[in-house]
A and B are shown apart, each in its own frame.
Chain A
């Protein structure tokens, strides 16, 4: 049974296919509005989330399907000590596809290994969050018209940020990608990510602490939040937390067609004044995330034979 745990579970051809499906959904929403009639998504969110959970739920509703979920992790079987493996075996009897978020790293893989229906990782601790990266890729494609030949600046907490590692892994597979890694020394991209995603593939990159200097050469600036909970030392956090604040004034350093992205939520690393700048794309990412989750669920349900089993045919069946 095919599941998606890591963005690297999808080939670049499959990413192209998902983007094509998402664009078709955007252009022809009615064609898709009943394609999942009778199908159920189970959202298993073992930790609080608003954006991701609602995005998955909205995505399934827009495909005509239903959503079942647990009220909260505190009231779930997990609170009684049930394992992830047992939980997904049970949920597999009720639903057609699962979206899971769990505070423990690797929980989504355990779910996928035990479920008899497709599992989508909606975030497993600080490890992977592939559907955020799908949102990022569609945003880049829609805004820049391509995924290759781009210079991408990633800025902020590059050490712990799972979205950053996923984005680097995904974009390093495209021809002509170049990365500028902008962070304080203490929050550099870990060496193993640099080695596996960049050095081994021969992807050019540079590291700097200077955002202003880096900005003019960027096609994309991907901002991230510096997270308090990652620091053992409050002083260290206070020293670093305001390292990079993107202001309207700072945006003058950027080219006219550079786009600003952010996985959200933001704290103060992008000032609200930047929101009105046409180059700010972070709220578009949210919308694009819903479309890509729709495309991904369609792909996995089709591969699992679920779309045919509900008797869908003709114009209500998409070619995936």
Chain B
């Protein structure tokens, strides 16, 4: 299966197989009017199988979202057909408006304007907690 290389844009590579769709959705790529390819289960020497997302434009990307879903992913910025920047991801310290607090007693349930902010509580367990009520992210 072939997907043409992109000239100017972003390639999110080394996504753990199966997590591509989640990143696609959380980054809101479905609402873009540029070409986007989500390729699943590509053979990978390092991972066995991986997902790749190719975006045919250099759009602003929330790297925290990618780091949160899959800290092993890499992001390549492509300009004029060459990779000009390669970024490795890491778990972000704070996640803002990426996930919602599910605790019905949390202030975010009644004050709709509040941003849902989670802090990294345990990097080893990849555990995030709401900054308001300390409930663990699901």
Contact = CB atoms under 8 A, between A and B. Distances in A.
A107 interface: yes
Give the one of B105, B107, B108, B122 with max A CB within 10 A: B107
Given A125-B105, A195-B122, A105 B132 contact: yes
A84 B107 contact: yes
A104 B105 contact: yes
A292 interface: no
Interface in B97-138: 103, 105-111, 113-114, 121-122, 127, 129-136
A19 B106 CA distance: 32
B113 A106 contact: no
A106 B130 contact: yes
A32 B75 CA distance: 61
A164 interface: no
A110 interface: yes
Contacts of B131: 106, 109
B122 A102 contact: no
Contacts of B105: 103-105, 125-126
Given A105-B103, A105-B105, A195-B122, A127 B134 contact: yes
Contacts of A227: none
B136 A192 contact: yes
Contacts of A102: 107
Q: How many of chain A's residues touch chain B, expressed as a range? A: 10 to 19
A306 B98 CA distance: 39
Nearest to A107: B107
Nearest to A78: B110
Contact of A110 (B107, B134, B135): B107
Given A84-B111, A126-B105, A192 B133 contact: no
Interface in B63-113: 103, 105-111, 113
Contacts of A127: 133-134
Contacts of A84: 107, 111
Nearest to A125: B105
B121 A106 contact: no
A105 B133 contact: yes
Interface of A: 83-85, 102-107, 109-110, 124-127, 192, 195-196
Given A104-B106, A106-B132, 17 more contacts: A83-B113, A84-B107, A84-B111, A85-B113, A103-B105, A104-B109, A105-B106, A105-B132, A105-B133, A105-B134, A107-B132, A109-B107, A109-B131, A125-B105, A192-B121, A192-B136, A196-B121
7 smallest CB-CB distances across A and B, nearest first, come from A106-B132, A105-B133, A106-B107, A104-B107, A107-B107, A106-B133, A125-B105
27 contacts: A83-B113, A84-B111, A85-B111, A85-B113, A103-B105, A104-B105, A104-B110, A105-B103, A105-B105, A105-B106, A105-B107, A106-B106, A106-B130, A106-B131, A106-B132, A106-B133, A107-B132, A109-B107, A110-B107, A110-B114, A110-B132, A125-B133, A126-B105, A127-B133, A192-B121, A195-B122, A196-B121
